[in-house]
């Protein structure tokens, strides 16, 4: 097992931070190119006209989960040494709901708002400011109140293969199947005429290309 590299060999902290900046540059570059600096493109996802967000999201999940599995099979990557977000059922359920509500209101998520603000979008900047206030309010104002939810349903490092009691490969297979199914539906809806918001649209429905 040669990876994770930085957990096998000692690398100076400066180099780790330097590489982090480079990885961040690639991250920001890809997000901007995908169109995530544009709130309308992200929001269009929820109005059934432009499914870019779900396509990028699921493609990343497919490539990432399958890749990690292959790395492990080849004997390169020790999956016990990588960081897997801990499961706190209530925290993630409530957090996901609050965050989802923010999507409809603000149109960005924290990462994409940073991308948007970096390219000069004032709404992105306002969103970052809001996210800063929201983040700090969690610790400063709501922590005592939300502590129960935040800590609720703690299950530690708990993965889908463990939940279903099946091989990780099978889970990834289903993830890929689900992704392909989602893409199929997304393409159908994008090209089709089905449009539940037809009556209230002020502008024609389209995919934002630039």
Partner 1 sequence: MTNIKVCQLEKALNYFDYPPELTAAEKDVMRQRKMKKHDVAIMLVHWFNAITWIFMLFTGAALIVSSFYKFAPDFYINIVRGMFETPGNLIEFHIWLGVIWIFVFLAYTIFGYRKYLRKQSLKEIPLKKSKDIFDKFKAIQCILFGNSALCLDKKDFLWLKIRLLGILGLSNEPLPPQGSFNAGQKLYGLLVALMTPIIMLTGLIMAFHLGPLWLIQWSIPIHFTAVGLVVSGLMIHVYMGAVFPEEKPAFFSMLTGNVSELFLYKHHFEYWKERIVKQCEWRKKTEPDVTLTDILPNSLAEKVMKKVEEIGDIEEEKPSEEETLPQKFWNPYFAGVMLGLLFLFTYFVYGRGLGASSFLSRTGTYLWSLIAPQYTHSHPYWSRYFHNGHTPLGNFMIFEVIGVIIGAYWSSKKARRAKIEIHKGPGISNKVRIFMAFAGGILMGLGARIARGCTSGQGLTGGVTLSVGAWLFVFVAIGIGYLSAYIFRRYWL
Residues between 139 and 198 that touch partner 1 (CB under 8 A): 139, 142-144, 146-147, 149-150, 155, 157-163, 168, 171-172, 175, 183, 197
d(CA 13, CA 150): 31
- The least distance separating partner 1 from the CB of residue 29, rounded to whole angstroms, comes to 4
Give residues 50-89 in contact with partner 1 (rule: CB under 8 A).
51-52, 54-65, 67-68, 71, 76-77, 81-89
Residue among 1, 10, 12, 138 that touches partner 1 (CB under 8 A):
138
The smaller minimum CB distance to partner 1, of residues 62 and 192, is found at 62
Cα 26 to chain centroid, rounded: 16
- The least distance separating partner 1 from the CB of residue 82, rounded to whole angstroms, comes to 4
| Phi and psi torsions of 174, nearest 5° | -70, -35
Query: What is the total count of residues that contact partner 1 (CB under 8 A)?
Result: 138
Give residues 5-34 in contact with partner 1 (rule: CB under 8 A).
5-7, 13, 16-34
Helix (H) or strand (E) holding 87: strand 87-88
Whether residue 56 contacts residue 67, with contact meaning beta carbons closer than 8 Å, is answered with no
- The least distance separating partner 1 from the CB of residue 81, rounded to whole angstroms, comes to 5
The smaller minimum CB distance to partner 1, of residues 60 and 177, is found at 60
128 binds partner 1 (CB under 8 A): yes
d(CA 163, CA 87): 11
The smaller minimum CB distance to partner 1, of residues 30 and 177, is found at 30
Which of 95, 116, 94, 97 minimizes the C-alpha distance to 42? 116
Angle between helices 143-151 and 89-106 (to 10 degrees): 120
Say whether 88 sits in a helix, a strand or coil. Answer: strand
């Amino acid at each position: 097992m040669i990876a994770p590299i930085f957990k096998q060999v000692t690398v100076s902290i400066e180099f780790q931070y330097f590489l982090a900046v480079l990885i961040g540059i690639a991250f920001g570059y890809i997000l901007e190119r995908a169109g995530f600096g544009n709130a309308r493109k992200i929001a269009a996802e929820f109005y059934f006209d432009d499914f870019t967000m779900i396509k990028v999201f699921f493609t990343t999940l497919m490539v990432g989960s399958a890749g990690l599995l292959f790395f492990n099979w080849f004997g390169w990557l020790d999956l016990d040494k990588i960081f897997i977000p801990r499961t706190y059922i209530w925290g993630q359920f409530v957090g996901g709901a609050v965050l989802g509500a923010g999507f409809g209101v603000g149109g960005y998520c924290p990462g994409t708002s940073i991308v948007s603000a970096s390219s000069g979008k004032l709404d992105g900047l306002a969103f970052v400011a809001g996210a800063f206030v929201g983040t700090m309010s969690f610790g400063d104002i709501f922590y005592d109140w939300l502590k129960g939810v935040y800590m609720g349903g703690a299950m530690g490092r708990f993965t889908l293969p463990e939940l279903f009691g099946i091989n990780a490969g099978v889970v990834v297979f289903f993830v890929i199947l689900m992704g392909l199914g989602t893409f199929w539906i997304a393409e159908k809806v994008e090209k089709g005429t089905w449009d539940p918001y037809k009556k209230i649209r002020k502008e024609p429905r389209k995919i934002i290309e630039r």
